[in-house]
Structure 1
């Protein structure tokens, strides 16, 4: 049986459009016969390298107004909850660290969807440890043990290195999707294109004579 192609899903919990993608990517990828690699990271250092101290949606008010209305429309279309969180952007550091712990144990996708839902669906502050702990407990996990590992030096270092990898590979925003041949697709509206490309690339490789 041929191995399924893999698409990397780079996301930041503070990213509005990452929310939309996270809530629909598994079903879309499964339908396309594609595997996913969930890559939580932080946009803050990438924005800082461009001289930004906050989200561009805050820096450029017109862009921000459009984004919030667009998010409201898209959430309604996808039939997922929407609530504008305060503050915005939220502190996504702990969530990203916990997601890294979960990526080694198979529960990162479920955790990711729940974090996004609490933030953009219910308006809770994911920067609060209690919120993350509630999510972990709801998954049947030992919240105290997971949180302890999430704030350990190895996990902190791992997240920093993932951020460095993102910058080195040219990731500048979220969500970003990267196919096995290195093609990059940015934005929720490029999800289907990324999956199509990954499938087409597999077909091209199969047709190339050895």
Structure 2
């Protein structure tokens, strides 16, 4: 049996464009015959290394205004309504740890999608335990087990290692897609190109 190609989907929970991708990537990957690896990581350390103290969408107002309009347009094509949260970018540390805690159990994708919908379709704060708990339940996860696991040194170390790996791969934003041969594609609008490359190569 021929092994299916794999695409790594690197995403940051505070990222608007990562939200757009997370809510459509499974169907697109299945249609392309490509398997996915969901790779949550933190952009803050990568931004800090570039001298940024916040999202570039906050640091550069024109870029920020364009981004929100662009995300709204792109979401509308999929029938989604974007709600701008009161806080942006949000603290995604606990969310990323929880997602990694669910990798082996299989609920990472469901949790990821539920949390993105809560943040950018409902305007909720993903740093709040109640919001995280609701997303865990929607994904079929046991919140009473997931939270303690997310606070373990093993999961904390895993997130640090994933973020360091992202840096070493040259990832500078989210979403980013990395193919089996190491080709890197950045941005929700590069998803189809990344899937094609993962399947067919150069």
TM-score, normalised with respect to structure 1: 0.94
Q: Which runs of 5+ in 1 are unaligned?
A: 205-210
1:119-176, Cα deviation, whole Å (9 max, x unpaired): 0000000011121012212333321210110011111111011111111111100000
8 Å CA contact retained: 2:107, 2:140: no
Task: Give runs of aligned pairs for residues 6-17 of structure 1, distance below 5 A.
Answer: 6-17=6-17
8 Å CA contact retained: 2:95, 2:126: yes
Paired with 1:192 and 1:20, the residues of 2 have a C-alpha distance of: 13
Using the TM superposition, give the Cα deviation of residue 55 of structure 1 relative to its aligned residue in structure 2, in angstroms.
0.2
Residue 150 (str. 1) matches residue 150 (str. 2): yes
| 1:181 corresponds to | 181
Using the TM superposition, give the Cα deviation of residue 92 of structure 1 relative to its aligned residue in structure 2, in angstroms.
0.6
8 Å CA contact retained: 1:81, 1:117: no
Using the TM superposition, give the Cα deviation of residue 195 of structure 1 relative to its aligned residue in structure 2, in angstroms.
0.5
Paired with 1:72 and 1:168, the residues of 2 have a C-alpha distance of: 32
Paired with 2:137 and 2:191, the residues of 1 have a C-alpha distance of: 31
Using the TM superposition, give the Cα deviation of residue 105 of structure 1 relative to its aligned residue in structure 2, in angstroms.
1.2
Paired with 1:144 and 1:59, the residues of 2 have a C-alpha distance of: 38
Number of matched pairs: 202
| 2:121 corresponds to | 121
Task: Give runs of aligned pairs for residues 56-135 of structure 1, distance below 5 A.
Answer: 56-135=56-135
Three-state SS of the structure 1 residue aligned to 2:147 is helix
Using the TM superposition, give the Cα deviation of residue 104 of structure 1 relative to its aligned residue in structure 2, in angstroms.
1.2
1:51-77, Cα deviation, whole Å (9 max, x unpaired): 001000000000000000001111111
How much is the aligned-residue C-alpha RMSD, in angstroms? Answer: 1.0
Larger CA Rg, structure 1 vs 2: 1
| 2:196 corresponds to | 196
Paired with 2:116 and 2:139, the residues of 1 have a C-alpha distance of: 15
Q: Which runs of 5+ in 2 are unaligned?
A: none
| 1:26 corresponds to | 26
Paired with 2:155 and 2:33, the residues of 1 have a C-alpha distance of: 31
Paired with 1:178 and 1:190, the residues of 2 have a C-alpha distance of: 11
| 2:35 corresponds to | 35
8 Å CA contact retained: 1:94, 1:129: no
TM-score, normalised with respect to structure 2: 0.97
